[in-house]
Amino acid sequence: MTQKPMVSIVAPVHNEEGNLFRLYERLSKVMDESGETWELVMINDGSRDNSLAEMMQLHHQDPQRVRIINFARNFGHQTAVTAGMDFALGQAVVLIDADLQDPPELIPQLVEKWREGYHVVYAVRAKREGESAFKVWTAKLFYRLTNKITNIDIPLDTGDFRLMDRRVVNAVNQMREHNRFIRGMTSWVGFQQTGVEYVRARREIGETKYTLRKMMRLALDGITGFSYFPLQVAIYFSFALAVLAVLALPVIVVLRLATTEAFLEGQATTLSVVLILSAFQFLFFFIMGQYIARIYDEVRGRPLYVVADTYGIPFSAGRVPPRVIPPIVSAEDVPDAE
């Protein structure tokens, strides 16, 4: 029987070959020094490089502590983290990037705060190394914007690197929404939250998987998941245009009747008005579409992810939450699966 670890470390992995041994090395060093029992849950999120082989090698080196969930395809970072939280056994769960941008050496400090009684301890990026000015600037803008228009407080300059108490994990695991914004969800549940500062390192191997497109998606998930504000903006436009109409229409009528030469002749005016108004109308179609697509995701009720196989995950523990398709066969049950 495997004993439940105190601290689970969840690392989503998408094409991170070359980073994983280093990750394990640094993690096991600090965790062993800290004296806590721990496990490392890695999610292979559809990697097309050697990541899975490297993870399996680590699992065979340390079968009690290194556990693997192998997704059937790439489901995205937030979903991979979700699976890790579903399967983690610890009393505290730490989310960390597998590319070593989040220093494992900070974990003992997170654990210390947790031991003091905090339920969520997030790592605050005091400084970011090796990231483009554009990324830092857009991230800043996004955090400030979301905090303005959502009704939850997402701490500024935090990513997903954080520790969560079992109670928080259980609460977040109950939120089975499809378009997930984990840092918003951990704020939403409440509890005692605090932060610890750190310097975000540069990525050493490989490159970021967060393209501009993916960042925009995440931003939209964060906003639509926690705010109705974008839907309500239309009412201000409606008011503004109504006021304009009330003021302008009498003037137009009077001028039209009073002047002899053709007033506002030609199509230029009409064209300009149509163009400006359609731009705003389509913008609001887009905004509504964002919400409708997410409603559609929810009504279909598909599972959040599909697991191909797992290594070292005790399924009998009954931790598989509703709507997760369990693996047809655990690789451990197959002889010669290695």
99, 157, 221, 309: residue in contact with ligand UDP (rule CB under 6 A): 99
The reply to whether 77 sits near ligand UDP by the rule CB under 6 A is yes
Taking CB under 6 A as the binding criterion, the range among 30-38, 71-79, 225-233, 261-269 that sits at the site for ligand UDP is 71-79
Residue for token pair 């609460």: 171
Whole-Å CA distances, 22 to 15, 16, 55, 65, 84? 15, 11, 12, 16, 20
We find the least distance from the C-beta atom of residue 250 to ligand UDP, in angstroms, to be 55
Distance, in Å, from the CA atom of 320 to the CA atom of 268, rounded to the nearest integer, reads 63
54, 86, 99, 165: residue in contact with Mg ion (rule CB under 5 A): 99
The reply to whether 221 sits near Mg ion by the rule CB under 5 A is no
Instruction: Confirm if 16 and 42 have CB atoms less than 8 A apart.
Output: no
The reply to whether 12 sits near ligand UDP by the rule CB under 6 A is yes
Residue 45 or 97: which CB sits closer to Mg ion?
A: 97
The reply to whether 101 sits near Mg ion by the rule CB under 5 A is yes
The structure tokens listed for 120 are 């969520």
C-alpha 172, offset from chain centre? 13
Residue 98 or 169: which CB sits closer to ligand UDP?
A: 98
Site residue total, ligand UDP (CB under 6 A) = 16
Neighbours of 39 (CB within 10 A): 25
Residue 163 or 287: which CB sits closer to ligand UDP?
A: 163
Q: Which does 312 bind (CB under 5 to 8 A by kind): Mg ion, ligand UDP, none?
A: none
Distance, in Å, from the CA atom of 76 to the CA atom of 306, rounded to the nearest integer, reads 12
**Where would I find the beta strands (DSSP E) of 238-324?**
307-311
240 torsion bin: left (phi>0), alpha (psi -120 to 50), beta (else): alpha
Residue for token pair 């997170």: 110
Going by C-alpha positions, the residue among 316, 312, 318 that lies closest to residue 332 is 312
28, 101, 179, 187: residue in contact with ligand UDP (rule CB under 6 A): 101
Phi, psi of 6 (to 5 degrees): -80, -45
Residue 45 or 157: which CB sits closer to ligand UDP?
A: 45
We find the least distance from the C-beta atom of residue 154 to ligand UDP, in angstroms, to be 16
Whole-Å CA distances, 267 to 261, 270, 277? 16, 5, 15
34, 74, 290, 330: residue in contact with ligand UDP (rule CB under 6 A): 74
Residue 42 or 171: which CB sits closer to Mg ion?
A: 42
Residue 49 or 112: which CB sits closer to Mg ion?
A: 49
36, 86, 97, 157: residue in contact with ligand UDP (rule CB under 6 A): 97
Residues in touch with ligand UDP (CB under 6 A)? 12-14, 16, 45, 74, 76-77, 80, 97-99, 101, 208-210
